[in-house]
Chain A
């Protein structure tokens, strides 16, 4: 296949998935609503003192963003599996890797990207100091992409199962831990007035490795799920 053909394929899948998700609406808005609601629960749970909230805000925001991304992951291949689009993808003479890459990127565009854009608003709600806002947004932009790609492996493994939801979180959460560590640490460093580029650089490494390697695992997992 020529290079332009490959790019064409990626763009076509990307456009199709983004359009479908936009038209359905709830698919991209539900994780956002979840993000806002759970963030609002924390002050109710631990008390409204601004300094205490400010101290906990980086961790809370990152953990809740991670959970929101996780909950959205279950639907990544579900619809395509149910109406057998996935089977057609596997049967088609186009290679699976770029299609999977495009699907996962489209999923991130509809979940991780809005989460990252919305995060400063929730940072304000949780009294996150202004110095941490940029680090929060950038770390979430990079980090949620990695989360989407790791989550896609789990989604591909569990898509053929009837009760996938909880299982997906069990198998994916341990793999999320490095991203959480570096993401929240970047925000904490920024709040403390320190250097946070090293953490972002590490997230950048995860980003590149996840984009390059995880589609291989996703392709393998999808073949297993469709074959069974």
Chain B
């Protein structure tokens, strides 16, 4: 009796997992589900980003050492944090696509690459702008900067590989393999760059870095950081939705959707 019950339970839960999986894998369901999510993400991220930026730029007292130039932190840190997380998300999506052949995961992967590359570029750019007044130079071969630069290269590699394939499925699979290989390598790269930097003679420009950040400066940073995550989520959904429409353009529901609007 117990045996039958647990067996039933197991089958039932397996069924519900697979049905959830199927639902999530269905582009149509995702399109309709994400439509409800979009305005919330857009509103919240706008609120947090703009609010956090105004708070950080206008109301937080200037840093005793760096003056006002530190305020770029409210863009720089969120951009670099989200850029790093985005790569891992892309690799996980790639693994899901390879293992379970979920098409939606392939679309997520394709969508993340340009967003992640842009955020990485933003992080490098704001870092350079920040470096000029703080260290007196636009660029330093510092361990963390170098890691972010390499992350940028990894993103560019994924984008280039995706564009080179004519076959969409092959492109997705190839990029998934590359993203996973890159994700395995990221800790190694990060760690060896740290090691490389510690061998370098210490730069004449020193970090103010290690000191803990004051709570009044931290709170707006938390706001822009979470705002950036939400903005990333919104952008990702937007890109995936466009991709869904493009891929499913020959299906009835997309044609109904488009024609219904134009009628």
Q: Which residues of A contact B (CB under 8 A)?
A: 153, 157-158, 160-161, 163-164, 167, 170-175, 177-178, 181-182, 185, 202, 206, 213-214, 217, 220-221, 224-225, 227-228
Q: A residues within 8 A CB of B174?
A: 157, 221, 224-225
Contact with A along B148-163 (1 / 0, CB 8 A): 0010011011101100
Task: List 9 extra interface pairs beyond A164-B164, A185-B199, A217-B177, CB under 8 A.
Answer: A153-B178, A170-B157, A170-B161, A171-B178, A174-B182, A175-B182, A177-B150, A181-B192, A185-B196
* Complex: A174 Cα to B189 Cα, angstroms: 9
Q: Select A220's contact among B98, B161, B188, beta carbons within 8 Å.
A: B98
A176 to B136, CA, bound (A): 31
Given known pairs A153-B181, A217-B180, the reply for A174 and B154 (CB within 8 Å) is yes
A164 to B160, CA, bound (A): 11
Q: Which of B170, B193, B195 contacts A224 (CB 8 A)?
A: B170
Task: Say whether A177 contacts B193, CB under 8 Å.
Answer: yes
The answer to whether B192 touches A153, judged by C-beta atoms less than 8 angstroms apart, is: no
* CB–CB B153/A173 < 8 A: yes
- Determine if B173 is an interface residue (Cβ-Cβ < 8 Å): yes
Question: Across the interface, which residues of B come within 8 angstroms of A217, CB to CB?
Answer: 177, 180-181
Quick check: A158 and B164 within 8 Å, CB to CB?
yes
Whether the pair B181, A228 counts as a contact (CB closer than 8 A) is no
Q: How many residues of B contact A (CB 8 A)?
A: 30
B172 vs chain A, min Cβ distance (A): 9
Question: Quick one: which of A157, A161, A214 contacts B178, CB cutoff 8 A?
Answer: A157
Is B253 in the interface zone, CB < 8 Å from A? no
Nearest first, the 7 closest Cβ-Cβ pairs linking A and B are A228-B170, A171-B157, A178-B192, A174-B153, A224-B173, A181-B196, A228-B167
CB of B165 within 8 A of CB of A220, answer no
* Chain B residue with the shortest CB-CB distance to A218: B177
Whole-angstrom distance between the Cβ of A147 and the nearest chain B Cβ: 13
B185 at the interface (CB under 8 A from A): yes
Docked pose: A197 CA to B220 CA in angstroms: 48
B156 CB contacts on chain A under 8 angstroms: 170
Chain B hits for A160, CB < 8 A: 170
Contact between A221 and B177 (Cβ–Cβ < 8 Å)?
Answer: yes
- Tell me whether A177 and B164 are in contact (CB under 8 A): no
Whole-angstrom distance between the Cβ of B246 and the nearest chain A Cβ: 20
Asked whether, in the complex, the Cβ of B160 is within 8 Å of the Cβ of A170, the reply is: yes
B residues lining the A interface (CB < 8 Å): 98, 150, 153-154, 156-158, 160-161, 164-165, 167, 169-170, 173-174, 177-178, 180-182, 184-185, 188-189, 192-193, 195-196, 199
Q: Tell me how far the C-beta of A177 lies from the nearest C-beta in chain B, rounded to whole angstroms.
A: 6
Give the complex CA separation of A181 and B157 in angstroms.
Answer: 20
- Is A163 within 8 A of B170, CB to CB? no
In angstroms, Cα B156 to Cα A181, docked, is: 21
Closest B-chain residue to A154, C-beta based? B178
- Pick from B161, B185, B192: contact of A167, CB below 8 A: B161
Chain B: minimal CB distance from A62 (Å):
13
Is B188's CB under 8 angstroms from A227's CB? Answer: no
- Distance in angstroms from A100 CB to nearest chain B CB is 14
- The interface residues of chain B lying within 8 Å CB-to-CB of A167 are 160-161, 164
With A173-B153, A217-B181, A220-B177: A178-B164 Cβ-Cβ less than 8 Å: no
A206 to B185, CA, bound (A): 11
Closest to A171 in B: B157
Pair A157/B161 contact, Cβ less than 8 Å: yes
Cβ of B192 and Cβ of A177 under 8 Å apart? Answer: yes
* 25 CB-based A-B contacts, threshold 8 Å: A153-B177, A153-B181, A157-B161, A157-B177, A170-B156, A170-B161, A171-B158, A171-B178, A172-B157, A173-B153, A174-B185, A175-B185, A177-B192, A181-B192, A181-B195, A185-B196, A185-B199, A213-B184, A217-B177, A220-B177, A224-B173, A224-B177, A227-B170, A228-B169, A228-B170
List chain A residues, Cβ under 8 A from B193. 177, 181
Residues of A near B161 (CB, < 8 A) are 157-158, 167, 170-171
Among A164, A213, A221, which residue has the most Cβ atoms of chain B within 10 A?
A221
